Amino acid sequence: MPPELEDLSTELEAELEAHANEGGTDGQTGAESAKPAEGAGSSDAQAKTDEGLLGVVRDAAPAKKPDAAAASPAEGAETGDKPGEGAPKQPDNENYSDVPFNKHPRFRQLLSERNANKSDAERYRQVDTFIRDNGMTAQEAADLLTVGAMAKTNPAKAWELARPWVENLLKACGEVLSPELQQAVQEGRMTQEAAYEVSRSRASVAAMEASRTFEGQRREQQERDEHSRSLTNAAVDWETQRRERDPNYDAKLELIHREIAWRHHNGDIPKSAAEVKAQLDDAYKVVNASFRAPPSGGQGGGGGGPAPTPRKPTKPVTGGSVAGGNAKPAPRSMLEVVQQAVG
């Protein structure tokens, strides 16, 4: 019940009580002149009237709902909780201050994407390794996949694409007689069964020879790849260590590239990781001999004091190509310098 109606009801009850008390007093003082039955009847009538007025007020007042009032306190009332404390927090994608970083939704999303990309990269490497290990080209692998896909929806087109490949495969395994064996069968010098036996035997020998040749080529390619990786790793390791020790290394980098490219152009190409590091050390010394540190930077390596005049008899080149050839782009790191020399 609203406070206004509660106050009104209280005032009515107080007035009714006062009237009841006055009625009782009047009844007592006038007992000598009034009859007891009449006094009792007037008192009952007054009580019924009062009760009826109080009921009207109570019926007019809306029912009080304590649960709703407790659940929804008046606006501005103090409840002990800060405004918005019960509301869910929005994710902080800027400073990641809402939850620990390893539990933040954005971190978990990036981790999930990393794992998915890692799985995709691993599958790609497996397919690429299978293709290279079996001596296939990318076009041959694509053609086989295309034929397999066409066989599901367009068998006629699939057979059209696969027929030349199948015919060559039959010849390679001896299931197609050579012109020489066909003539021998036609002249009666050999039965057809014997001709097929000879054809299959020749095909088996040719397949074994082709397999040995392929294995040899694959081993050579693996050795070349391993050798190239060793040279590349040696150059990367040298550059990483030199950059850590020399604060002016980046200023000398272009001069080092020119020196290395000039040596490669003249045929001085290292054959091992040790030769790569030795050539880089020598080129670094030559650059230091003519390098003058910038005014704002410190002295790096052996560069300090008056710098001698650079040597003039040789003219460095950036791409390592002879005159008239296609110019290669200038290397951007020591890794590219070595790769251009090796490749």
| Residue 109 confidence (pLDDT) | 81
Rounded Cα distance between 262 and 266, Å, is: 6
| Residue 50 confidence (pLDDT) | 55
Q: How confident is the model at residue 156 (pLDDT cuts 50, 70, 90)?
A: very high
Helix axes 192-245, 334-342, angle to 10 degrees: 150
Q: Would you state the structure tokens that stand for residue 304, as one six-digit string?
A: 């300090």
Flag whether 316 is in a domain.
yes
What value does the mean pLDDT of the chain take? 73
Burial of residue 276 (CB within 10 Å: 0-12, 13-18, 19+) is: buried
**pLDDT (tens digit per residue) in 262-305:** 999 999 999 999 999 999 999 999 998 888 766 654 444 444 44
Q: Answer with the residue of higher pLDDT: 266 or 327.
A: 266
% of the chain with per-residue pLDDT over 90: 36
Q: Calculate the CA 130 to chain-centre distance.
A: 26
- In one-letter notation, the amino acid at residue 85 is E
For the residues 217-241, what does the mean pLDDT come to? Answer: 91
Place of tokens 């076009």: 139
Q: How confident is the model at residue 242 (pLDDT cuts 50, 70, 90)?
A: very high
**pLDDT (tens digit per residue) in 35-61:** 444 444 555 555 555 555 556 556 555
Q: How confident is the model at residue 180 (pLDDT cuts 50, 70, 90)?
A: very high
**Cβ–Cβ under 8 Å, residues 307 and 288:** no
Rounded Cα distance between 250 and 253, Å, is: 5
Flag whether 323 is in a domain.
yes
Flag whether 303 is in a domain.
yes
Q: How many residues does the chain have?
A: 343
Q: What is the largest CA-CA distance in the chain?
A: 166
For the residues 197-203, what does the mean pLDDT come to? Answer: 94
Rounded Cα distance between 284 and 287, Å, is: 5
What domain count does the chain have? Answer: 1
DSSP 264-317: HHTT----SHHHHHHHHHHHHHHHHHH----TTS---TT--SSPPPPP-S----
Place of tokens 């008239």: 324
**Cβ–Cβ under 8 Å, residues 232 and 280:** no
| Residue 123 confidence (pLDDT) | 87
**Cβ–Cβ under 8 Å, residues 61 and 10:** no
For the residues 62-66, what does the mean pLDDT come to? Answer: 51
| Residue 107 confidence (pLDDT) | 72
Q: How confident is the model at residue 322 (pLDDT cuts 50, 70, 90)?
A: very low
**Cβ–Cβ under 8 Å, residues 172 and 207:** yes
Q: Would you say residue 208 has pLDDT above 90?
A: yes
Domain extent, residue 237, equals 227-342
Flag whether 330 is in a domain.
yes
Q: Answer with the residue of higher pLDDT: 310 or 191.
A: 191
| Residue 281 confidence (pLDDT) | 93
How wide is the angle at C-alpha 196 spanned by C-alphas 194 and 200, nearest 5°? 120
Q: Would you say residue 329 has pLDDT above 60?
A: yes
Q: What would you report as the CA-atom Rg of the chain, rounded to the nearest whole angstrom?
A: 51
Rounded Cα distance between 311 and 260, Å, is: 15
- Best mean pLDDT range from 117-131, 240-254, 309-323: 240-254
- Best mean pLDDT range from 119-133, 295-309, 315-329: 119-133
**Residue 79: CA count within 13 A, CB half-sphere:** 15
**Cβ–Cβ under 8 Å, residues 306 and 300:** no
pTM, two decimal places: 0.43
Place of tokens 């694959």: 218
Q: Answer with the residue of higher pLDDT: 286 or 80.
A: 286
Q: Would you state the structure tokens that stand for residue 42, as one six-digit string?
A: 């007037």
% of the chain with per-residue pLDDT over 70: 55
| Residue 310 confidence (pLDDT) | 43
| Residue 110 confidence (pLDDT) | 81
Flag whether 236 is in a domain.
yes
Flag whether 106 is in a domain.
no
**pLDDT (tens digit per residue) in 141-155:** 999 999 999 999 999
Q: Would you say residue 138 has pLDDT above 50?
A: yes
Rounded Cα distance between 6 and 8, Å, is: 5
Place of tokens 């390596």: 301
Which has the closest alpha carbon to 265: 340, 190, 204? 340
Q: Calculate the CA 287 to chain-centre distance.
A: 42
- Best mean pLDDT range from 27-31, 67-71, 88-92, 222-226: 222-226
